[in-house]
Amino acid sequence: MKNVLYVLIGVMAGFALAGLLLFISRAPAGDPIVLQPAPTKAPIAVHVIGAVPRPGLYEFAEGARVQDAIDAAGGLLSSADVESINLAALLEDGQQLTIPYKAGQEPAEETAVPLELPGPPATEAPEDQDLININTATAEELDSLPGIGPTIAQRIIDYRTENGPFETIEDIMDVSGIGPSTFDQIKDLITV
């Protein structure tokens, strides 16, 4: 009787093992799950100008407000007319956002530089006239240099704040984003 019991247990174990193998090896039912990236909308571009430290083109997610644009441009200057700005207004793609100045505090208009005409060379002006001092220049003054945008202008200011004043004009090449080609464009326009 014991032998029959062992045979019966062996047969049952065989059926259980065969069922388990059949369950594991069968093809999965249904379609596989495919994860899709979350839908995102294209950013909107807004040109911020006026009474902000870093005017320029900024990108925002849809639904951004005027306050977001002001924050991206470095906040408001003390000469900004806050009362005439709707900080809660929605931004639109392609919008130019002008932050107004308080009456009488607008920056002076820049005068155009006259073109040199062919002929005998003009008398040279003093060396420091109209040169931008990279140790004291504002972000707007630095941004006016060729090849220097608002981002690099802020890097120059951050660099001199962290490392002290520049000793020579060549030291400006230590700032990230200013290489020899950019330096060649600005070397005759800057001083220390």
Q: Are 13 and 64 in contact (CB under 8 A)?
A: no
Taking the C-alpha atoms of residue 86 and residue 95, their distance in angstroms, rounded to an integer, is 15
What confidence score (pLDDT) does residue 65 get? 95
Closest CA to 60 of 50, 49, 73, 51: 73
Q: Is the pLDDT of residue 119 over 70?
A: no
Domain boundaries, the chain: 44-99, 132-191
Average pLDDT, the chain: 82
**Contact between 110 and 131 (Cβ < 8 Å):** no
Taking alpha carbons only, the member of 45, 41, 49, 70 closest to residue 60 is: 45
Cα–Cα separations (whole angstroms), residue 34 to 37, 38, 54? 10, 12, 44
Report pLDDT digits (tens) over 6-64: 888 999 999 999 888 887 877 666 777 888 877 778 899 999 999 998 999 999 998 99
How far is residue 174's CA from residue 166's CA, in Å, rounded to a whole number? 10
Q: Look at domain 132-191 and name its CATH class.
A: mainly alpha
Distance CA 12, CA 6 (A): 10
Nearest-angstrom CA–CA distance, 62 and 90: 9
pLDDT at 117: 52
> Which CATH number is correct for 44-99, 3.40.50.10310, 2.60.40.4070, 3.10.20.600, 3.40.50.2300?
3.10.20.600
Point out the least confidently predicted range of 64-68, 113-117, 180-184.
113-117
